[in-house]
Amino acid sequence: QVQLVESGGGLVQAGGSLRLSCAASGSIFSINDMGWYRQAPEKQRESVATITRGGSTNYADSVKGRFAISRDAAKNTVYLQMNSLKPEDTAVYYCNAQMRLVATGPKYNYWGQGTQVTVSS
């Protein structure tokens, strides 16, 4: 089955860095837009960063200048480099990908299981 698996989360001190990765696997025709979202306890899930198939990126104002999203088409993988981390970045981070499973089929959104990022003060 098609799935997205995140990795790279963990515990880091404020000011530190983490690099998240998300790999898509299974029978996939194409991957279009990809992105990272996060959800803190008792808060709504929010967009952190997105990247199109062509490489155009978009960032939430709260992470602009600190985070960088990138992708490796050959590995069906999207990354999120997080620098200058703050306690308010603490959340579960989810990978999202828009994918077609067949050439003539529809494009669907798929979600990973999430990876915990905890930033201590």
In angstroms, the CA 38 to CA 114 distance is 8
pLDDT tens per residue, range 31-73: 999 999 999 999 999 999 999 999 999 999 999 999 999 999 8
Backbone angles phi, psi at 7, to 5 degrees: -155, 165
Sign of CA dihedral 65, 85, 22, 115: negative
Yes or no: say if 53 and 115 are a contact pair by the CB < 8 Å rule.
Answer: no
Task: Label residue 14 by pLDDT band (50, 70, 90).
Answer: very high
Place of tokens 């530190």: 16
Place of tokens 């963990």: 10
Written as six digits, the tokens of 68 are: 């960088």
Cα–Cα nearest to 36, from 85, 77, 74: 77
